[in-house]
Amino acid sequence: MISQSGETIDTLEAMREAKRKGAKVLGITNVVGSTIARESECGVYIHAGPEIGVASTKAFTSQVTILGLITILLGRRGHLSADRGTQMLRELEKLPALVHKVLDQSDAIKEIAEVYANHRNCLYLGRGVNFPLALEGALKLKEISYIHAEGYPAAEMKHGPIALIDPQMPVVVIATKDGSYEKIVGNVQEVRARDGKIISIVTEGDTAIAALSDHVITIPDTMNFWMPLLSVIPLQLLAYHIAVLRGEDVDQPRNLAKAVTVE
């Protein structure tokens, strides 16, 4: 069970139902002594420190990191070789320096935010592991800036969202180099053909998607397994800068609570 606060009621009820059916529950939470920490049989504290903002950012990053480590652990008990596991951990150790490189682009991301701060809608697209990042980017934008935003699998763009694309619809595309890169290039070309405004998050050195985009945010290259930890940061920064430009409270957005404790 994953919960920053360890108190969210729907997560707690799901955990309790799983336990009633005999499942062993592992809790991943940030708050020491929280209900999930007490009621789960085992687990991991993410130790992200106090999360002041309602729209969690560092907790998201820490949770994804823990899930990656658990994946490596389970992989080593199966078919993941020791050499490959060691390589993955060494790549993780390099990430703090790479994260700083992404954060150094904050001013450039703010310039993009200035262009779109007064738009009313935004579409986020991603394939594979980048689809959950599209959901996260859209969630952050709607939570703190109150702009309507939707994350969508890029493979399903033609099943609805493509009808919305016009010059007033900015489209954020997470387009890092991976096995589906050529297909995401095709999605960007389709958005371009319909005069959509494209904000692309690409791997350093990318030229194909950069040439098709109105705005480009580059992230350092790393192992695909860990790439989401870098890709998510520009999405969070974009939402942050747009919200600040609109004069909104990024830490305490309206109608939201840090932990949802009632059903």
| SS3 of residue 233 by DSSP | helix
Q: Work out the average pLDDT over 105-110.
A: 97
Within 8 A by CB and 6+ apart from 137, the residues are 124, 149, 151, 172, 174, 232, 235, 236, 238, 239
Give the H or E element holding residue 215. Answer: strand 215-219
- The model's confidence at residue 262, banded by pLDDT at 50, 70 and 90, is low
Q: Work out the average pLDDT over 13-31.
A: 95
Share of the chain above pLDDT 90, in %: 80
Q: Is the pLDDT of residue 180 over 90?
A: no
Q: Is the pLDDT of residue 261 over 70?
A: no
* Cβ pair 172, 124 in contact under 8 A: yes
Higher pLDDT, 188 or 259: 188
Tell me the pTM.
0.91
Predicted local distance difference test score (pLDDT) of residue 257: 63
For the stretch 117-171, pLDDT in tens is: 999 999 999 999 999 999 999 999 999 999 999 999 998 988 888 888 999 999 9
Least confident residue range of 46-55, 189-198, 217-226? 46-55
Q: Is the pLDDT of residue 189 over 70?
A: yes
- The model's confidence at residue 212, banded by pLDDT at 50, 70 and 90, is very high
Q: Work out the average pLDDT over 20-32.
A: 94
- The model's confidence at residue 55, banded by pLDDT at 50, 70 and 90, is confident
- The model's confidence at residue 263, banded by pLDDT at 50, 70 and 90, is low
- The model's confidence at residue 52, banded by pLDDT at 50, 70 and 90, is confident
